[in-house]
Amino acid sequence: MDEQRQRKLERAKTYIDKLADGCDPFTDAPLEDDSVLNNVRLSRCFFFVSEVLREVIDNGGVAVRGGSGSSKKLPRFELTAEQYSRIELSEDAIQITDLCQRINAVADLDTMRKLKVTAFGAWMLEKGFLTTVTVNDKKHKEPTPEGKNIGITSEWVDYQTGGYYRLKYSKNAQQFLVDNLEGIMRISNGE
């Protein structure tokens, strides 16, 4: 496959992966809860398209009919103790997409499903570390007092659509989420 086609396929896969994870592919901002792009059916579709693109890239840029790829269901996301130990936390506060990428980077994603960034938000809402607020008729996630205690902060970011709260996770918050990854993985795996 020529280099230009390879780059286009990789870029398309990156955009689809970010949409599947519930993020704006250009800004990495979380998609609004009520955004059509954050619909669970579309998310599943994006994951499927991502798998197909991975197969095409791995096959030199050619689609293969009847291949083994996307028709097989990958096992649940899991980490070994050794993989847990390789998760790199940032000294600086980072967004949840960055932490999710760091965790996925230590996993063997050729043999299992990817950890979904949306699972973090769902788990934190369920456990009371985040809450949903409405600002200018749009829903946003904000840390609760418990969330602030573990190191979640938020800042308002102006954007073309009016803006959003950017959540940041301190090293302490990152470690807390890694320590509670089992529950987050269950949500990501659809359990």
Rounded mean pLDDT, 123-151:
90
Averaged confidence pLDDT in the chain: 84
More confident residue, 85 or 158: 85
Rounded mean pLDDT, 105-122:
88
**pLDDT recorded at residue 63:** 67
**pLDDT recorded at residue 161:** 61
**pLDDT recorded at residue 71:** 36
Predicted confidence (pLDDT) at residue 170 exceeds the cutoff of 90: yes
Tell me how far apart the alpha carbons of residues 85 and 61 are, in angstroms, rounded to a whole number: 35
Residue (of 20, 7, 25, 8) closest to 50 by Cα position: 20
Q: What's the pTM value of the predicted model, to 2 decimals?
A: 0.63
101-109, long-range: CB < 8 A, 24+ apart: 103/79, 103/178, 103/181, 106/79, 107/77, 107/78, 107/79, 107/83
Q: Tokens at residue 18, please? A: 């970010």
More confident residue, 151 or 21: 151
| 29-41 pLDDT, tens digit each | 888 877 777 777 7
DSSP state for residue 114 in the 8-state scheme? P
Residue (of 33, 18, 20) closest to 141 by Cα position: 33
More confident residue, 172 or 7: 172
